[in-house]
Amino acid sequence: MLELKNLHARVVPEDAPAREILKGLSLSVPTGEVHAIMGPNGSGKSTLSYVLTGKDGYEVTGGTATFDGADLLGLAPEVRAAMGLFLSFQYPLEIAGVPVMTFVRAAMNAQRKTRGEAEISAVDFLKLSKVAAAKLRIDPDMLKRPLNVGFSGGEKKRLEIYQMLMLEPRFMILDETDSGLDIDALKVVADGVNALRGPTRGMLVITHYQRLLDYIKPDRVHVLSGGRIIASGGPDLALKLEREGYDGVIAAGA
């Protein structure tokens, strides 16, 4: 269960004054559920994903964030990752000279070490990789190339989900995973994500559009605006947003 209570956070740029972005955000995502966060540009969606995963430059000024009862705030990003928190980035980073598989294996073993588990053998890793790549229709040769270097937007998103399948996180945050994907790629990616759905995992799907939610069906939908959740509901809420736009819902919620 991911539980956020009255979370306040600000972004602290190196060369500009700090700005408060999250202004009292409360949210509970029980284990086994998929929740969607929708909201207009600038509402704090990406900030939320960075605050949860511990990126530098974001400062929590109030409230709490716990994962299965453990306080997340103040933990190093790699420790949160080892606890099972995974962020599928809106803009995945390019890592020159480091092949995809080398990177993912380093990540997997680092997490295992932190959890006190044995490293994965090369053979087992390759087996897992083969299955994940096939599921996402990723050409195995692509996994030997440096991570994300020269890849298209769609390929990068596909590789995010590949990493997710490999690392088998307990809680997933998908930040605008649908952007840059055509409809066929969207289906493949959604199938990959759905494969990880289950009673032991939770998921937060951040998106602008209802479209992705046709493929990854949420249990709950929340509307984020001005750094707070202003409306929550079932899947219908997403459809309503699609019909009426954010303005109507925000006006009603405010």
Partner 1 sequence: MSEGKETLVKDSIDRGTVDAARALESDKYAEGFVTDIEMELAPKGLSEDTVRYISAKKEEPEWMLQWRLEAFQRWREMTEPTWAMINYPKIDYQDAHYYAEPKGAAKYKTIDDVPKEILETYAKLGIPLKEQEVLLGVEGAMETAAAARETPRVAVDAVFDSVSVATTFRAELLRAGVIFMSISEAIREYPDLVKQYLGSVVPVTDNFFATLNSAVFSDGTFVYVPKGVRCPMELSTYFRMNAKGTGQFERTLIIVDEGAYVSYLEGCTAPMRDENQLHAAVVELVALADAEIKYSTVQNWWPGDSEGKGGIYNFVTKRGDCRGARSRISWTQVETGSAITWKYPSCILRGDDSSGEFYSIAVTNGRQQADTGTKMIHLGKNTKSRIISKGISAGKSNNTYRGLVSIHPKAAKARNFTQCDSLLIGQTCGAHTVPYVENRRSDAQLEHEATTTKLSDDQLFYARQRGIGEEEAVALLVNGFVRDVLQKLPMEFAVEAQKLLEVSLEGSVG
DSSP track, 105-153:
HHHHHHHHHHTT-PPPPHHHHHHHHHHHHHHTT--GGGGGSBTTTT--H
162 counts as binding partner 1 under rule CB under 8 A: no
Stretch that binds partner 1, among 18-26, 111-119, 211-219, 225-233 (CB under 8 A): 111-119
Three-state DSSP at 219 gives coil
Whole-number minimum distance, CB 240 to partner 1, in Å? 33
Whole-number minimum distance, CB 54 to partner 1, in Å? 8
Site for partner 1 in 8-47 (CB under 8 A): none
Q: Which two tokens stand for residue 218?
A: 């949420």
Torsion sign, CA atoms 182, 93, 43, 172: positive
Among 13, 15, 56, 123, binds partner 1 (CB under 8 A): 56
Query: In angstroms, rounded to a whole number, what is the distance separating the alpha carbons of residues 85 and 164?
Result: 10
Give one word for 180, left, alpha or beta, with left for phi > 0 and alpha for psi -120 to 50: left
119 counts as binding partner 1 under rule CB under 8 A: yes
Among 146, 180, 226, 253, binds partner 1 (CB under 8 A): 146
State which residue, 78 or 139, has the beta carbon closest to partner 1. Answer: 78
How many residues touch partner 1 under the rule CB under 8 A: the total is: 36
Q: Which of 89, 147, 79 is nearest to 116 (CA)?
A: 79
Stretch that binds partner 1, among 26-34, 91-99, 134-142, 219-227 (CB under 8 A): 91-99
Compute CA distances 38 → 90, 210, 211, whole Å. Answer: 14, 9, 12
Compute CA distances 190 → 73, 153, 178, 245, whole Å. Answer: 30, 16, 9, 24
Instruction: Count helices and strands (H / E) in the chain.
Output: 8, 10
180 counts as binding partner 1 under rule CB under 8 A: no
Among 30, 57, 140, 245, binds partner 1 (CB under 8 A): 57
Q: Which of 224, 192, 194 is nearest to 207 (CA)?
A: 224
Among 51, 104, 181, 189, binds partner 1 (CB under 8 A): 104
Stretch that binds partner 1, among 17-25, 51-59, 181-189, 238-246 (CB under 8 A): 51-59
Return phi, psi of residue 146, to 5°: -55, 140
Among 4, 37, 44, 89, binds partner 1 (CB under 8 A): 89
Whole-number minimum distance, CB 246 to partner 1, in Å? 28
State which residue, 76 or 251, has the beta carbon closest to partner 1. Answer: 76
Query: In angstroms, rounded to a whole number, what is the distance separating the alpha carbons of residues 215 and 237?
Result: 16
State which residue, 98 or 239, has the beta carbon closest to partner 1. Answer: 98
Q: Which residues in this chain contact partner 1 in the complex, by CB under 8 A?
A: 53-57, 76-78, 80-82, 86-87, 89, 92-98, 102-104, 106-111, 113-114, 119, 146, 163, 167
